[in-house]
Amino acid sequence: MVGGIEMFRKLDNRALIHYRIVAKSDLHVGGHTTIEPAEVDNPVIKNSDGVPIIPGSSLKGVLRTEMERLLRGLNTVKVCDIFDNKARGGCNECPVCNLFGGKDLASSIRIRDAIADSKKTLVRDGVAIDRQSRKAKPGGKYDTEVVPKGTVFTGILTIENTGLKDVYDKAKLGAFLSLTDFFNVCCGSIGHAVSRGFGEAEIHIDRINLITAEDYLEGRYEGREYASGTDEFADLKDQSRVDWAGAIKSGEYEQV
């Protein structure tokens, strides 16, 4: 756990990532409450202004699960099971915990809620099916509120101290950027009722601001900006991916 404490004792750098989530199909991220509770059975979650949101915790959960599965697929990398009774909440040591947090290790990634560009929603009807009779259950009709296809959610996330193992300076940033690209190529989904066709989404990065302690001292509080589509952004992305791959292949996280 000493290494985990050291990770946050000083601020080497901070990456501020401005992102967009584009709904490629109708999307339902449910909430337990709504400002108009009687209108639909399954409302979407909204902020205090009545605007649909994707909670940062929902996006973080989707990305963490995908990364765990990918790294386990390598069959060479140690990845803990956060639901295992022996290390419930995370082992604090594997690469996933280093990025998303563990039982006693704060997350390096902090994701703010993504807010929709419109209050518009739709209501979709549904019917619960009895699996044995394959017919509608009596009283099984329900309706679900969805955010329509084409809605754009915008948000900001931060990555604290983007390096790993004092060698791979941008490894955590590379982990996130490569993960979002993989998510998009594989038609990733967010929210509920994916089997009904809901939730297909894409994650786009608009810009990254890298801020160091030196920037703070010199009054450059926004650090250096890397805008998507520029050569500087492409170079940062490539170097970050190289660092992430190097950290994973270094043997530090090798299975035993």
Q: How confident is the model at residue 40 (pLDDT cuts 50, 70, 90)?
A: confident
Task: Look up residue 194 and give its amino acid.
Answer: V
Average pLDDT, the chain: 87
Question: CA-to-CA distance for 253 and 245, rounded, in angstroms?
Answer: 12
| 9 pLDDT more than 70 | yes
Domain that holds residue 221: 2-249
Checking if the pLDDT of 100 tops 90, the result is yes
- Residue 66 in contact with residue 182, Cβ under 8 Å? yes
256: in domain: no
Domain membership of residue 254 (yes or no) is: no
Ordered alpha helix ranges (H), the chain: 2-7, 56-73, 95-100, 171-185, 213-218, 231-249
Per-residue pLDDT reduced to its tens digit, 115-142: 999 999 999 875 455 455 554 455 456 7
Number of domains making up the chain: 1
* Cα distance between residue 172 and residue 174, in whole Å: 5
Question: pLDDT-based confidence at 192, cuts 50/70/90?
Answer: confident
pTM for the full model?
0.86
**pLDDT tens digits for 224-238?**
999 999 999 999 999
Report residue 34's pLDDT band, with 50, 70 and 90 as the boundaries: very low
